[in-house]
Chains A and B, each alone.
Chain A
């Protein structure tokens, strides 16, 4: 494969597709990544990122992060900032799994100290954190209580004993999207998701026990500031989202937007999955308020899962979670749209930043960050494939160029169908066990789809974000135990 003809190399890590590439492009598209990563990207990325560039009100560039791959509507890894007044909001630019995200939790244990407990920990975690198709959690709420919960966000968990007060400042937006309005969500969305709090889901969702080898600490000072102070320190990382509730909210509004987009607002899109409405229209504002309920549901989901993780570690290791140092490092959201202020031609401008499979990454000094991370920059958690490893990075000032956004994962290079034909779940399970990774999975076939070789090289992706000047590597973690959805 080669770099797309017509794409211009801006730096070693940034490639630009000019507006002449496709009729209707309002801004150029920029893709981040090394020449190798970009030449391995599928054609869907180029097609989709240039479709995004045609959306009304888009400013500066339609962006794609180094882990970009072919999605639906936006590419996965897509970032687009729309003018608050002249721009649109699009569910296809956020994704069905609203606020799918990552959470990273510390322990004060070394790998040696938990080695013999890994199997027990993972077995118990797989019981306490249900994974797989459908699934229901242990938190029992009425539909009305659920509606109240999605307006409150993670604070609801603290009030109900599912977490520590300090968890909130270590969660993006303190675990709550302001302006969530349960009057804008359908009964169907509530019905679909109100029993699923505390569940992992499936696909690329997982819960892992990992550790940081000394040679995998890239910046010792930053690592220390983020809580990585011990040799071979064990951490817990998990990835999940807003479950059936968020999926239904997105579906509901996708259908509403399709009905009004062209007849009422005269907007045409190149892919129906890019269905959108003017941000300030009644439909746009309704979706924004409903989508925020899904953002909150997801923060709650991960907070409740953290509570379960602390319970399990405490039971198995016979110590209080506080004595095990189980402080959360951070929780980042992937699939969101946020109203933010960025500089456009030197002027502070209000923009609706869509991030689909991309992470917000604020640099040091940002007033949006809690005091705790004002000096370091925002922790960024990039999940790799279950076989290879994951990263902790921080945001940097230079990420202004991407509206303070960076990669979110390693990104697929192989379709699920192909991976399933190529890899056997059982063999994979055995191979991983031999390499010291104990896996509990809800599905062997699903496991095969998530094989490491179906993904880009996580090291190349993390490095590309650093080379592109949009985040900085702090540490790399390798898995020892995995609950796979």
Chain B
């Protein structure tokens, strides 16, 4: 699994590290970590509906922050659980843009073993960094 939840950081919240060989892969892992904090088994989410997401920022880390927020937005606004299947990241004129295709379905308590509602992505210890093996992010979620 390209993400891991961390013990003993911000006790009441959920912290995770996500990684990928490319920036795009890392974004997908981090998005799964957000949804995975809410649902025990990501495989139980059927790809029944599609949502397109587009976010921008002049900073790479805030680009991730904005994309993760989209997952939370749809969870509340449409009661839908999403996993990002593909993402493309482009940059032009000092601005990064991430376009993602997310698939998922409405929350079904009968089939989805939910864990905890994620309220927000926080900026506490939030980081995106390039490593010799790819990209890594550290994120604390407010739950």
A456 CB → nearest B CB, Å: 11
B123/A273 in contact, CB under 8 A? yes
Residues of chain A within 8 A of B123, CB atoms compared: 72-73, 92, 254, 258, 271-273, 275
Query: A44-B10, A70-B10, A273-B123 known; A136 and B115 CB under 8 Å?
Result: no
Bound Cα distance A250, B121 (Å) = 11
- Against B, the Cβ 8 Å flags (1 = close, 0 = not) of A238-257 are 00000110011011001100
B12/A134 in contact, CB under 8 A? no
Q: Among B13, B62, B65, B119, which residue has its beta carbon within 8 angstroms of that of A247?
A: B119
A150 CB → nearest B CB, Å: 16
A133/B39 in contact, CB under 8 A? yes
Query: A44-B10, A204-B12, A445-B113 known; A247 and B72 CB under 8 Å?
Result: yes
Report if B117 contacts A (CB, 8 A): yes
Interface magnitude class on chain B = 35 or more
Report if A395 contacts B (CB, 8 A): no
Report if A132 contacts B (CB, 8 A): yes
Report if A416 contacts B (CB, 8 A): yes
Bound Cα distance A398, B11 (Å) = 31
A264 CB → nearest B CB, Å: 15
Residues of chain B within 8 A of A196, CB atoms compared: 76
Query: A204-B12, A412-B12 known; A188 and B116 CB under 8 Å?
Result: no
Q: Among B73, B109, B140, B143, which residue has its beta carbon within 8 angstroms of that of A203?
A: B143
Bound Cα distance A188, B109 (Å) = 26
B117/A414 in contact, CB under 8 A? no
Q: Among A95, A243, A273, A445, which residue has its beta carbon within 8 angstroms of that of B115?
A: A445
Residues of chain B within 8 A of A251, CB atoms compared: 69, 120-121
B120/A247 in contact, CB under 8 A? yes
Bound Cα distance A100, B69 (Å) = 20
Residues of chain A within 8 A of B75, CB atoms compared: 133-134, 244
Q: Among B5, B8, B38, which residue has its beta carbon within 8 angstroms of that of A133?
A: B38
Residues 215-266 of A contacting B (Cβ, < 8 Å): 243-244, 247-248, 250-251, 254-255, 258
Report if A267 contacts B (CB, 8 A): no
- A-B pair count, CB < 8 Å, reads 151
B11/A202 in contact, CB under 8 A? no
Q: Which residue of A lies closest to B106 (CB)?
A: A134
B94 CB → nearest A CB, Å: 14
Residues of chain B within 8 A of A192, CB atoms compared: 73, 76-77
A203/B77 in contact, CB under 8 A? no
Q: Which residue of B lies closest to A416 (CB)?
A: B14
Report if B6 contacts A (CB, 8 A): yes
Q: Among A95, A132, A244, A415, which residue has its beta carbon within 8 angstroms of that of B77?
A: A244
- Against A, the Cβ 8 Å flags (1 = close, 0 = not) of B101-125 are 0000001010001111101111111
Q: Which residue of A lies closest to B14 (CB)?
A: A416
Query: A95-B142, A416-B13 known; A273 and B79 CB under 8 Å?
Result: no
Q: Among A42, A71, A96, A418, which residue has its beta carbon within 8 angstroms of that of B120?
A: A96
Report if A201 contacts B (CB, 8 A): yes
A134/B79 in contact, CB under 8 A? yes
Report if A135 contacts B (CB, 8 A): yes
A255/B117 in contact, CB under 8 A? no
Report if B40 contacts A (CB, 8 A): yes
Bound Cα distance A444, B116 (Å) = 10
Q: Which residue of A lies closest to B121 (CB)?
A: A251
A128 CB → nearest B CB, Å: 16
Residues of chain A within 8 A of B8, CB atoms compared: 42, 415, 417-418
Report if A485 contacts B (CB, 8 A): yes
Given contacts A72-B142, A196-B76, 11 further A-B pairs with CB under 8 A are: A42-B8, A44-B10, A97-B119, A133-B114, A133-B117, A203-B116, A243-B76, A244-B76, A244-B77, A445-B113, A446-B114
Query: A192-B73, A202-B143, A272-B126 known; A416 and B9 CB under 8 Å?
Result: no
- Against A, the Cβ 8 Å flags (1 = close, 0 = not) of B127-143 are 00000000000001011
A63 CB → nearest B CB, Å: 19
B12/A416 in contact, CB under 8 A? yes
B139 CB → nearest A CB, Å: 11
Bound Cα distance A195, B107 (Å) = 15
Residues of chain B within 8 A of A401, CB atoms compared: none
- Against A, the Cβ 8 Å flags (1 = close, 0 = not) of B57-82 are 00000100110010011011101010
Report if B7 contacts A (CB, 8 A): yes
